[in-house]
Chains A and B, each alone.
Chain A
Amino acid sequence: MIYVNKKSADSFFVKNFEKNGTNFKFVDENTDFIENSKNNIYITPENNTFVHRCPATEIYRCCNYYVVDMMEGCPFDCTYCILQEYLNHRFIKVFSDTKKVKEEILALAKKGKYRLGTGELSDSLAYDHILNLTDFFIPIVNKLENIQFEFKTKSANITKLFNHNPKNILISWSLNPEEIIKTEEYYTAGLSERIEAAGKCADYGYKVCFHFDPLIYYKNFEKGYSDLLRRLFDRIPEDSVEYISISTFRFMPNLLETVRNRFEHSTLLQSSYVKSLDGKMRYFKTLRTYMLRFITSKIKSEWQNVFIYYCMEHESIWKKLLGYDPGERKEFEKNFPFFHQNGQL
Chain B
Amino acid sequence: MPANSWKLSSVQKKMQTITINNSENINTSLFNWVFPDEEKITNRFPSFHYPPAVWKNNNQSYKLNYFNISTNTYFLLDTDSFPDVLNFSMDFYNAENANILELANLAHLILKFGYQTEDFELFKLKSIKGNQKINTLLKIRTLPYQIKKYLAYKNPSFKILNILAKFTEPLINITESFIVENNPSLSEFRSFITNLFDFKYDIATSINEYDEEYFRQLFYNKNPVYTEFIGKLNPLLNMGKNIFIENSDNFETDTLRITFTINSPEDYQDILEKLDRSKNTINEIYKLLEEYDLR
A interface residues with partner B (beta carbon < 8 Å): 257, 260-261, 264-265, 269-272, 274-277, 284-287, 289-290, 314, 316, 320
Residue in A260, A271, A275, A289 whose beta carbon sits within 8 Å of that of B250 in the complex: A275
Chain A residues lying within 8 Å of B20, measured Cβ to Cβ, are none
In the complex, are the beta carbons of B199 and A286 less than 8 A apart?
no
Residue in B162, B198, B253, B254 whose beta carbon sits within 8 Å of that of A269 in the complex: B198
Q: For A317, give the chain B residue with the smallest CB separation.
A: B293
B67 CB within 8 Å of chain A? no
B266 CB within 8 Å of chain A? no
B249 CB within 8 Å of chain A? yes
In the complex, are the beta carbons of A284 and B225 less than 8 A apart?
yes
A285–B159 CA distance with the chains assembled, in angstroms: 27
A284–B198 CA distance with the chains assembled, in angstroms: 18
Which of A261, A271, A276, A286 has the largest number of chain B CB atoms within 10 A? A286
Chain A residues lying within 8 Å of B253, measured Cβ to Cβ, are 277, 314, 316
In the complex, are the beta carbons of A277 and B252 less than 8 A apart?
yes
A272–B223 CA distance with the chains assembled, in angstroms: 6
In the complex, are the beta carbons of B198 and A270 less than 8 A apart?
yes
A210–B12 CA distance with the chains assembled, in angstroms: 74
Q: For B251, give the chain A residue with the smallest CB separation.
A: A285
In the complex, are the beta carbons of A284 and B250 less than 8 A apart?
yes
Chain B residues lying within 8 Å of A286, measured Cβ to Cβ, are 225-226, 229, 251, 292-294
A286–B250 CA distance with the chains assembled, in angstroms: 11
B221 CB within 8 Å of chain A? yes
Q: Could you list 6 A-B pairs, sorted by A, with CB under 8 Å?
A: A257-B159, A272-B222, A276-B249, A284-B223, A284-B229, A314-B252
A190–B199 CA distance with the chains assembled, in angstroms: 26
A290–B221 CA distance with the chains assembled, in angstroms: 16
In the complex, are the beta carbons of A260 and B197 less than 8 A apart?
yes
Shortest B231–chain A CB gap in Å is 13
In the complex, are the beta carbons of A284 and B199 less than 8 A apart?
no
Residue in B163, B198, B200, B293 whose beta carbon sits within 8 Å of that of A289 in the complex: B293
Chain A residues lying within 8 Å of B277, measured Cβ to Cβ, are none
In the complex, are the beta carbons of B162 and A272 less than 8 A apart?
no
Which of A277, A284, A290 has the largest number of chain B CB atoms within 10 A? A284
A272–B224 CA distance with the chains assembled, in angstroms: 10
Q: Is the contact region of chain A dominated by helix, strand, or loop, or is it mixed?
A: helix
Residue in B163, B202, B222, B295 whose beta carbon sits within 8 Å of that of A316 in the complex: B295
Q: Is the contact region of chain B dominated by helix, strand, or loop, or is it mixed?
A: loop
B166 CB within 8 Å of chain A? yes
Chain A residues lying within 8 Å of B226, measured Cβ to Cβ, are 272, 274, 284, 286-287
In the complex, are the beta carbons of A276 and B223 less than 8 A apart?
no
Shortest A178–chain B CB gap in Å is 19
A265–B293 CA distance with the chains assembled, in angstroms: 31
A37–B198 CA distance with the chains assembled, in angstroms: 27
- The 8 A CB mask of B238-266 against A (1 = contact, 0 = none) is 00000000000111111000000000000
Q: What 15 additional pairs, Cβ within 8 angstroms, besides A269-B197, A275-B250, A285-B294?
A: A257-B162, A270-B198, A270-B222, A271-B222, A272-B222, A277-B252, A284-B226, A285-B252, A286-B225, A286-B229, A286-B294, A287-B223, A289-B293, A314-B253, A316-B254
Chain A residues lying within 8 Å of B48, measured Cβ to Cβ, are none
B201 CB within 8 Å of chain A? yes
A274–B254 CA distance with the chains assembled, in angstroms: 15
A264–B199 CA distance with the chains assembled, in angstroms: 10
Chain B residues lying within 8 Å of A272, measured Cβ to Cβ, are 222-223, 226
In the complex, are the beta carbons of A261 and B162 less than 8 A apart?
yes
Shortest A278–chain B CB gap in Å is 9
A287–B166 CA distance with the chains assembled, in angstroms: 30
Chain B 64-123 residues near chain A, CB threshold 8 A: none
Q: For B222, give the chain A residue with the smallest CB separation.
A: A272
A261–B132 CA distance with the chains assembled, in angstroms: 10
Residue in B163, B221, B293, B294 whose beta carbon sits within 8 Å of that of A270 in the complex: B221
Shortest B85–chain A CB gap in Å is 35
In the complex, are the beta carbons of B250 and A274 less than 8 A apart?
yes
Chain A residues lying within 8 Å of B162, measured Cβ to Cβ, are 257, 260-261
In the complex, are the beta carbons of A264 and B293 less than 8 A apart?
no
Chain B residues lying within 8 Å of A270, measured Cβ to Cβ, are 198-199, 202, 221-222
Shortest B54–chain A CB gap in Å is 42
A260–B161 CA distance with the chains assembled, in angstroms: 12
A24–B86 CA distance with the chains assembled, in angstroms: 51
Shortest A14–chain B CB gap in Å is 37
Which of A257, A270, A271, A290 has the largest number of chain B CB atoms within 10 A? A270
In the complex, are the beta carbons of B249 and A287 less than 8 A apart?
no
Q: For B249, give the chain A residue with the smallest CB separation.
A: A277
Which of A274, A275, A289 has the largest number of chain B CB atoms within 10 A? A274
Q: For B292, give the chain A residue with the smallest CB separation.
A: A286
In the complex, are the beta carbons of A265 and B201 less than 8 A apart?
yes
Chain A residues lying within 8 Å of B293, measured Cβ to Cβ, are 285-286, 289-290, 320
Chain B residues lying within 8 Å of A260, measured Cβ to Cβ, are 162-163, 166, 197-198
Chain B 206-238 residues near chain A, CB threshold 8 A: 221-223, 225-226, 229
Chain B residues lying within 8 Å of A314, measured Cβ to Cβ, are 252-253
Q: For A289, give the chain B residue with the smallest CB separation.
A: B293
Chain B 106-159 residues near chain A, CB threshold 8 A: 159
Q: For A281, give the chain B residue with the smallest CB separation.
A: B250
A155–B252 CA distance with the chains assembled, in angstroms: 35
A316–B290 CA distance with the chains assembled, in angstroms: 12
